Structures are given as structure tokens and as C-alpha cells.
Amino acid sequence: MIKLIIIFLSYILLLFNANLLANENDGKLRIGLLAPFSGEYKSLGESLLLSTQLALNEIDDDNVIIIPRDTGSDNKEKLNISIKDIIKSGAKVIIGPMTSSSFSEIKKYKDTIFISLSNRETKISNNLISIGISLESQLEAIEKFLIKKKKKKTVILYPKNQYEKFIDEKIKSIKLKNYKVFKYSSDPRVLTGEIEKLTNYKTRKRELEIRKNILKKKDDNRSKRELKNLERLFTLGSVDFDSVIIIDFGNSLKSVLSSLIYSDVDDSAVLILTVNQWFDESIFRENLVKNLYFPSVNLEQFKKYNENYVKSFGVKPDEITILAYDALGLIYYVWKKNSGITTINNFFIKEKIKGKIGTFNFKNKKVSQELKIYKLDNNKFKEY
């Protein structure tokens, strides 16, 4: 199957390049694709190319031509060569770069519009639009959910790492109310002790022992029943917050969730939320939190996209490739709506745009997505 995919990818690249022999002013929509077709992230680049092919198949318009070029893995020289080659081929719009590390480079190409899949920057600049699932969009969806659930004392947890300052800035920009920030160590050996402090675990545990000792000295049935119930608990008393937002992923997220449960945080009383997890089913394992919520892309559309991708190519896509699919659809919509694309102003659309990942908004020179809230329920993801 892998050999067939490689042959198919080679065929796509040849086909795309052959189409470039046509007149550049023939009314066709030429779109560049910057992706890592070599280096450490080669498999991601191949998956992105297949995603645009899937979008092309569904658009079914021979006037749309994709021009894929290799950026390597964080290779600025190769990036610039690829951009210049795409521009020479007649493309006004380019899907990419994939990450924000290349944003300083693309500013040089003022007459070219870049649709990046990065989620770092929501502001639309002179020639850049980022359509990744931004932290702002996620926090806005969470805030609406917390208001709906009438939660008024929220703790936002995130690790002390290279993304710390970025998260600081985004939280301030959203202007959330009734919250406090708690930053924890990335070292799981330190994490548990920090969560104990956050939850006032030792004091609550001591209060439980004091209460149990008092009841042990009593002989009435009421005291015996209470003592029996307390024997099932680890602590006595509630924590000083009613909701938690954890901005973390993977094993680090699982460690935080485990520490909260270990510290006797009742997830039926305290609302526990994370940020977008791309419906990662590994979160089912080694996770004792039964009521876990998070904002995310449209689950049904995400499933449908994955099914169509596997059906078409026989392999599973990388999660981020659905953004490339939507990017192509967005460009095509703007092109049809304006009978062409001349400047980035063509993308300042008043109406909402529905894509596979959700609904896009282009307001005040910012991109946002309307995300749904999902719940982890009996090893299934359910829309709230």
C-alpha cells in the first residue's frame, strides 16, 4: 500500500506540473502548496498533498490547479526557492507555511497571499491569514460554556515551558472573568505536589482524619453510618474552585488529570476542561476523569473527512490535513465569489463560512472558528 501511495503522489506531482504549461492568464485558479516533502516531516507533507487532492476531487473543477513545492524541515533557503517558483508559475495564493516559524520570511512576498495552517496568530496581516484552531477560539468557546454552566471560580492550568508566554498573552487578550492562573512543572515528579497545593489536599486530608477520630469515639448509629461513608473518602471538604481549564496535551495532560483525581477533586462537582485534543482516543486510557469536556472541530465532519481520505488513499490522514482541505475550499469560495482573487481584501467576508472543521468568521481583521463543546463519556466523544 505504501508503494502505491508513493507512486500516486509522484503521479500527482507530475500532473500538477504538467498543468502549469497552460497560459497563466487563462482564467484558471492556481494555488501553491508549501509542505515538507523531504526531511523529518515528509510524511506530513505527503498527507497534506493527498488532502488537497481529496478537496480537488470534491470541488470537481478543472480550472483549479495545485502547485506543490517542498519546504523541507524548517529550511528557509528551500522555502524561499519554493515560494519564488510557485509565484513564477502564476499562483496568487499559497497554502502554507505550516508553522509560524516562517512568518518573517513570507512578509517579503507582499503581492502573494498565504493561507497558513498555523494556530499561533489570528490577526490577518498584509499578506497572511492563519486558519489553524486558535487558542483564542477555544477559550472563547470554553468561556461561553462556563457561563452556561454558571461556573464562577475557574483555574487555568498550563505548564512552565516554551509556550508559557504565548499562553499568557492569549489569556489576557480574551479578557476572561473570574479566573486565576496556575502554572505547573513539566516534571511529573514535581507535578503531584504542586496539584496538592492547588487543591489544599493535605489540609483536607487532615480534616478527614480529625473527623474520623471524633466519630470513632461515638457509639450511636448515626455516627457509625457517617464513619462508614468517610472511610471511602480521601479528603473532607471541597476545593476553592468550581472549574478547571487545562492547556496541555499528551502524557503531560494525562499526568495533570491523574493528579487532580489523586488529590480528590470530584469531577462531578468541578467542571474539568481541556483544549482541542483532535479526538485523541488514547485519552481513554490511563484517565480516571469521567466527565471531561473540550472545544473542538465538528466531530461528524471530522469523521466523514477521515473516512473519505482512507477510502480514497488507503491510509489514515494526519489530523492537521483537514485544515489544508478547508483552506482549498475557502480559496475556491473566495475566487468564485469575486470572479478572481486580487488582494487579501477579497478574504474579508461578512458572512460566516462553513468548512469541515467548523464555521469561520472573518471580523475586525481576525480569523476565528465557532467550535463545539464535546464530552468524554463512556469511552466515546459526545457533543454537549
Is the pLDDT assigned to residue 300 strictly greater than 50?
Answer: yes
> Which pLDDT score is estimated for 14?
43
Question: In this structure, is residue 319 part of a structural domain?
Answer: yes
Can you state the angle between helices 321-338 and 42-59, rounded to 10 degrees?
40
Please check whether residues 289 and 158 belong to one and the same domain: yes
Residue 24, burial from CB neighbour count under 10 angstroms (0-12, 13-18, 19+): exposed
Please check whether residues 307 and 323 belong to one and the same domain: yes
Please check whether residues 178 and 254 belong to one and the same domain: yes
Is the pLDDT assigned to residue 99 strictly greater than 50?
Answer: yes
> Which pLDDT score is estimated for 24?
53
Please check whether residues 173 and 60 belong to one and the same domain: no
Overall number of domains in the chain: 2
Query: Mean pLDDT across the stretch 316-322?
Result: 91
Please check whether residues 160 and 108 belong to one and the same domain: no
- At 175, which CATH number? 3.40.50.2300
Please check whether residues 62 and 101 belong to one and the same domain: yes
| Residue 196: all three cell numbers together | 496538592
Query: Mean pLDDT across the stretch 335-341?
Result: 92
- Within a 10 A sphere around the Cβ of 351, how many other Cβ atoms? 9
Query: Mean pLDDT across the stretch 248-256?
Result: 90
Please check whether residues 313 and 249 belong to one and the same domain: no
Give the Cα separation of 350 and 136 in Å (integer): 20
- The whole domain housing 250 covers 135-199+239-296
Question: In this structure, is residue 32 part of a structural domain?
Answer: yes
> Which pLDDT score is estimated for 6?
45
Query: Mean pLDDT across the stretch 217-232?
Result: 90
Query: Mean pLDDT across the stretch 30-51?
Result: 93
Q: For 137-171, how does the pLDDT look when each residue is reduced to its tens digit (9 = 90+)?
A: 999 999 999 999 999 999 999 999 999 999 998 88
Please check whether residues 304 and 286 belong to one and the same domain: no
Is the pLDDT assigned to residue 5 strictly greater than 80?
Answer: no
- The strand pairing partners of 158, in sequence order, are 183
3-class secondary structure per residue, the chain: CHHHHHHHHHHHHHHHHHHCCCCCCCCCEEEEEEECCCCCCHHHHHHHHHHHHHHHHHHCCCCEEEEEEECCCCCHHHHHHHHHHHHHCCCCEEECCCCHHHHHHHCCCCCCEEEECCCCCCECCCCEEECCCCHHHHHHHHHHHHHHCCCCCEEEEEECCCCHHHHHHHHHHHCCCCEEEEEECCCHHHHHHHHHHHCCHHHHHHHHHHHHHHHHCCCCHHHHHHHHHHCCCCCCCCCCCCEEEECCCHHHHHHHHHHHHHCCCCCCCCEEEECCCCCCHHHHCCCCCCCEEEEECCHHHHHHHHHHHHHHHCCCCCCCHHHHHHHHHHHHHHHHHHCCCCCHHHHCCCCCEECCCCEEEEECCEEEEECEEEEEECCEEEEC
Query: Mean pLDDT across the stretch 62-79?
Result: 90
Phi-psi region of 286 (alpha: psi -120 to 50; beta: other; left: phi over 0): left
Question: In this structure, is residue 215 part of a structural domain?
Answer: no
> Which pLDDT score is estimated for 287?
65
Give the Cα separation of 93 and 55 in Å (integer): 16
Give the Cα separation of 192 and 145 in Å (integer): 28
Query: Mean pLDDT across the stretch 110-130?
Result: 89
> Which pLDDT score is estimated for 285?
67
Please check whether residues 29 and 150 belong to one and the same domain: no
Average pLDDT, the chain: 87
pLDDT level of residue 233 (50, 70, 90 thresholds): confident
Is the pLDDT assigned to residue 372 strictly greater than 60?
Answer: yes
Question: Which of 249, 274, 296 is the last residue before a domain boundary?
Answer: 296
Question: In this structure, is residue 376 part of a structural domain?
Answer: no
pLDDT level of residue 121 (50, 70, 90 thresholds): confident
Question: In this structure, is residue 379 part of a structural domain?
Answer: no
Please check whether residues 142 and 249 belong to one and the same domain: yes
Contacts of 35 (CB under 8 A, 6+ apart): 44, 45, 48, 49, 68, 69, 70, 71, 96, 98
Q: Identify whether the C-beta of residue 29 lies closer than 8 Å to the C-beta of residue 331.
A: yes
> Which pLDDT score is estimated for 355?
83
Question: Which of 296, 314, 335 is the last residue before a domain boundary?
Answer: 296
Query: Mean pLDDT across the stretch 278-297?
Result: 81
Is the pLDDT assigned to residue 8 strictly greater than 70?
Answer: no
Question: In this structure, is residue 213 part of a structural domain?
Answer: no
Phi-psi region of 360 (alpha: psi -120 to 50; beta: other; left: phi over 0): beta
Please check whether residues 115 and 40 belong to one and the same domain: yes
Question: In this structure, is residue 383 part of a structural domain?
Answer: no
Give the Cα separation of 83 and 139 in Å (integer): 34
> Which pLDDT score is estimated for 7?
41
Please check whether residues 144 and 268 belong to one and the same domain: yes
Q: For 202-213, how does the pLDDT look when each residue is reduced to its tens digit (9 = 90+)?
A: 999 999 999 999
Question: Which of 296, 313, 328 is the last residue before a domain boundary?
Answer: 296
Question: In this structure, is residue 210 part of a structural domain?
Answer: no
Q: For 187-200, how does the pLDDT look when each residue is reduced to its tens digit (9 = 90+)?
A: 888 999 999 999 99
Is the pLDDT assigned to residue 34 strictly greater than 90?
Answer: yes
Query: Mean pLDDT across the stretch 363-367?
Result: 83
